[in-house]
């Protein structure tokens, strides 16, 4: 049964990654148009640059229908705080298990997967920031609004949406951890609903803020879904190789 779950998760992860790759290629090759960046503030306009955007028909229609909504932009930032705080649940649990294990010999190996995933996410975040595929839609506003668009004299990278990426990965990880640690049904369901609710709220507010193209949001969801599927598959695999009961007994496992 575990093997089937692992294979299903790996397959889902591969599909999401393939769709993300196809979307990225389409953004670079299909329906590319140059979009002028306009600001109401004269000083801001002097620093504005013309940007190119792939799948421009869809993206420009989405941008024009959403516009720039500062309220949703601020809400996405506020809601990101409890999203990060949710990570304390698996992090504190991993630390408590280390204390109970009194060392790494009997320490549950699945926790290494969790901390490794956090390190990998940071590397991915830095990569997308250094290798921009898309730049943010322009926002009609003052120099203060431009500060959300121009970073270090260049338009800020926006693909994929890192807020959507984090919402899928972090909230998914915490929801999965709830099934492992919370035995009582009602509190477990309540915590999972909280994780899903925060994740959806962050992604929705980011979409309505107007600081992302539609493809940015889709890219964040696809890459985040792929990351989460591979993470869950790897945890299940590690769990099967190093069952908690054997770890406590100080035994190893042999695989064919």
Q: What is the tens place of the pLDDT at every residue in 194-243?
A: 999 999 999 999 999 888 899 999 999 999 999 999 999 998 888 777 66
**In 3D, which of 20, 86, 6 has the Cα closest to residue 224?**
20
Look at phi and psi of residue 157 and say left if phi exceeds 0, alpha if psi is from -120 to 50, else beta: beta
Give the three-class secondary structure for 104. coil
pLDDT score for 7 = 92
Q: List b or e across 12-45, with b for residues whose CB sees 16 or more CB atoms inside 10 angstroms.
A: bbeebbebbeebbeebeeeeeeebebebebeebe
Compute how many other C-beta atoms are within 10 angstroms of the C-beta atom of residue 2: 10
Average pLDDT of the segment spanning 108-116: 83
Residue 51 DSSP class: E
Q: Is the pLDDT of residue 103 over 90?
A: no
Q: Residue 20 and residue 135: Cα distance in Å, rounded?
A: 17
Task: Please compute the mean of the pLDDT values over residues 162-173 and round it to a whole number.
Answer: 93
Q: Choose among 210, 211, 215: nearest CA to 57.
A: 215
pLDDT at residue 144 is higher than 70? no
| DSSP structure class, residue 86 | H
36, pLDDT greater than 90: no
Name the pLDDT band for 249 (thresholds 50, 70, 90).
Answer: very low
Tokens of residue 12, six digits: 């889902």
pLDDT at residue number 122: 93
Rounded distance, CA 122 to CA 142, Å? 32
Residue 248's pLDDT is 45
Q: What is the pTM of this model?
A: 0.82
90 pLDDT more than 50: yes
Question: Per mean pLDDT, which range of 7-11, 39-43, 117-121 is the poorest?
Answer: 39-43
Tokens of 124: 């991915």
Among 38-52, 82-96, 219-233, which is the least confidently predicted range?
Answer: 38-52
List, in sequence order, every residue forming a beta bridge with 53; answer none if it has no partner.
Answer: 33
Query: Which helix H or strand E contains 5, and what residues bound it?
Result: helix 2-29
Answer yes or no: are the C-beta atoms of 203 and 162 closer than 8 Å: no
């Amino acid at each position: 049964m575990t093997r089937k779950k692992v294979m299903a998760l790996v397959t889902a992860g591969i599909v999401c990654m393939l769709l993300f790759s196809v979307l990225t290629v389409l953004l670079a090759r299909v329906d590319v148009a140059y979009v002028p960046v306009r600001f109401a503030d004269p000083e801001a306009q002097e620093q504005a640059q013309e940007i190119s955007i792939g799948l421009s028909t869809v993206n420009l229609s989405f941008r024009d229908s959403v516009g720039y909504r500062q309220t949703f932009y601020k809400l996405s930032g506020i809601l990101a705080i409890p999203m990060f705080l949710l990570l304390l649940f698996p992090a504190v649990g991993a630390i408590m298990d280390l204390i109970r294990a009194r060392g790494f010999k009997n320490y549950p190996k699945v926790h290494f997967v969790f901390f490794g995933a956090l390190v990998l996410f940071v590397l991915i975040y830095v990569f997308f920031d250094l290798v921009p595929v898309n730049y943010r839609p322009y926002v009609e506003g003052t120099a203060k609004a431009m500060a959300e668009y121009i970073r270090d004299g260049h338009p800020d990278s926006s693909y994929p949406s890192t807020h959507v990426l984090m919402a899928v990965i972090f909230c998914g990880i915490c929801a999965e951890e709830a099934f492992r640690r919370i035995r009582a049904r009602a509190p477990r369901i309540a915590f999972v609903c909280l994780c899903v609710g925060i994740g959806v709220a962050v992604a929705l507010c980011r979409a309505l803020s107007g600081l992302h193209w539609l493809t940015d949001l889709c890219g964040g969801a696809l890459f985040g879904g792929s990351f989460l599927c591979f993470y869950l598959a790897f945890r299940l695999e590690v769990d099967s190789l190093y069952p908690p009961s054997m770890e406590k007994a100080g035994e190893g496992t042999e695989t064919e």
